[in-house]
Amino acid sequence: MSADPADREPVADGGAADEPDPTVEMAEQAGREEPDLDRGIVEAWAAKMISNPDRAYRATFYVATFFFLVTTLFPFYWLLVVALTPRNNLSEVGVFLPAGFNPAAFIDIFTTLPFHRYVFNSFLIATVATVAVLLVGSLAGYVFGRLRFRGRNAMLLLVLVTSFFPPAAFFIPLNRLFNTNVDVLRPLLSAGSLYNTPYAIFIPLSAIFLPLSIFILMTFYSQIPDGLEDAARVEGTTRLGALFRVIVPLSAPGVATAGVLTFISVYNEYFFSSLMTDGRPQNWAPMLEGILRFQGEFEVLYNLMAAASIVAVLPVAILVVVAQEKIVSGLTTGAVKE
């Protein structure tokens, strides 16, 4: 199984499980590679590897990279294969090639359903939630990261404890709350209740993903030298002013990381997204409902589901491409140099 995993079964869990080994016993493994070669050549090659371990490590590195690339990317490729296969041929879809060629699926998803509206709803909800989380998380991060006060650790633990509960647990009270007509909200929301509004999704999700952002921002804000905050305050800002004019800009990688993590988490969330609306796009149903609709109302249109999935992944995929370096450096939490 460990011989040439890359060429064989890309999603097999067994192969995946074996794979961290290269880092552990790289030399030996490299020596065992390519078993179908002539014995003599293998021996010569193994001998060379043993005498020159750096080359063996290099070889293992390339094999591992290739393996990881295949296992992560293949499912996307196969999704594309399914999307391009005409619906009637779905049972004949291959592993590597579509059975037929039907790019029209990528147009059909917008005509059968207003799928763009679903994606827009998700995008908007995720954006609003991200802004809210960054704002609240910044304030909390400042307090936890830069102020010393009694009970700080206890409160921090309390923030973490909210993450112990399944989000579903919050659904019970929220569901009742959001379905209650609140007269105060009537001028704002036609129905007077939060159900079927974007608030019903972004409020609980903001709260659920807030702790992680607090932890990230706290770590960053705590590393900004005191002198900089003092300087800003002496120069004429309030504490809040120093936070947003000096501390936040200097923590850009951390803020970006927290933002991207929140955006992706909210965009990808499953539970609340599937329950807080009635599933109609004009009622702010998110992208998830759109994809599931291809399954429900008509017959199961797997090719359209696949096409819709590819479209729905694009925003987050672009985000990852753009922000990946920031995310890594953001999680590395490098101290700010003055």
Partner 1 sequence: MSLTDSLPFVEFGAPFLQQALFVTLAFAILSVVFETLIGFGQALVLDQDFYGRRWVRVSIIIPWAIPIVIQGMIFFLIFNPTIGFGTEFMQSIGVFGETPLASSDDSFLIVLVADIWKTTAFMALLILAGLQSIDRGLYDVAKVSGASPWQRFKYITLPLVAPALLVAMLFRTMDAMRIYGLIDATAGCETVPSLTCLVIIALQESRRWATASAVAFLTAVVISGFVVVYLLALRNSDGGVA
Partner 2 sequence: MASVKLEGITKRYEDVTAVDDMNLEIEDGEFVTFVGPSGCGKSTTMETIAGLTLPTEGTVEIGGRDVTDLPPKDRGISMVFQNIALFPHMDVYDNISFGLRLRKYDQEEIDRRVEEAADIVQLEGMMDRMPSEMSGGQRQRVAIARAIVRNPDAFLMDEPLANLDAELRVHMRTQLQRLHRQLDTTIVYVTHDQAQAMTMSDRIAVINSGVLQQVAPPLECYNEPANRFVAGFIGSPAMNFVEGEVVDGGFESQYTQIDFDPATHGVTPGQEITVGIRPEDVFLEEDSRKAASPTKAFDAVVDVIEPMGKEVNAYLLFDRDVEASAEGRGEGQLLINLAPDTEIAEGDDVRIVIDRENIHLFDRASGDAITHSLE
Residues between 202 and 231 that touch partner 2 (CB under 8 A): 225, 227-228, 230-231
Binding partner of 328, given partner 1, partner 2, none, CB within 5-8 angstroms per partner class: partner 1
Residue from 246, 258, 266, 275 in contact with partner 2 (CB under 8 A): 246
Q: What is the largest distance, in Å, between two alpha-carbon atoms of the chain? A: 85
**Positions 140 through 159 that interact with partner 1 (CB under 8 A):** 144-145, 156
Write the binding mask 318 to 337 for partner 2: x where contact by CB under 8 A, - elsewhere: ------------------xx
Q: How many helices (H) and strands (E) does the chain have?
A: 17, 0
Whether 196 contacts 283, CB under 8 Å: yes
Tokens of 229: 């905050």
Kindly give, in sequence order, each residue whose CB lies less than 8 Å from that of residue 127, ignoring residues fewer than 6 positions away: 263
Whether 109 contacts 185, CB under 8 Å: no
Q: Which stretch binds partner 2 (CB under 8 A): 88-96, 238-246, 266-274, 315-323?
A: 238-246
Residue from 9, 112, 159, 245 in contact with partner 1 (CB under 8 A): 9
CA 92, CA 88: separation in Å to the nearest integer?
Answer: 9
If you write DSSP's letter for every residue of 71-119 in order, what string do you get? HHHHHHHHHHHHHHS-GGGGGG--SSS-SS--TTHHHHHHHHS-HHHHH
Q: Computed over its alpha carbons, how large is the radius of gyration of the chain?
A: 26
Binding partner of 47, given partner 1, partner 2, none, CB within 5-8 angstroms per partner class: none
Write the binding mask 236 to 275 for partner 1: x where contact by CB under 8 A, - elsewhere: ----------------------------x--xxxxx----
Cβ 3 to partner 2 shortest distance, Å: 51
Q: Which stretch binds partner 1 (CB under 8 A): 42-50, 108-116, 190-198, 213-221?
A: 213-221
Whether 306 contacts 79, CB under 8 Å: yes
Residue from 35, 151, 321, 337 in contact with partner 1 (CB under 8 A): 321
168-172 contacts at long range (C-beta below 8 A, 24 or more positions apart): 168/271, 170/204, 170/207, 170/208, 171/271, 171/272, 171/275
Is there binding between residue 161 and partner 1 (CB under 8 A)? yes
Binding partner of 246, given partner 2, partner 1, none, CB within 5-8 angstroms per partner class: partner 2
Is there binding between residue 77 and partner 1 (CB under 8 A)? no
Binding site for partner 2 (CB under 8 A): 225, 227-228, 230-238, 241, 246, 249-250, 336-338
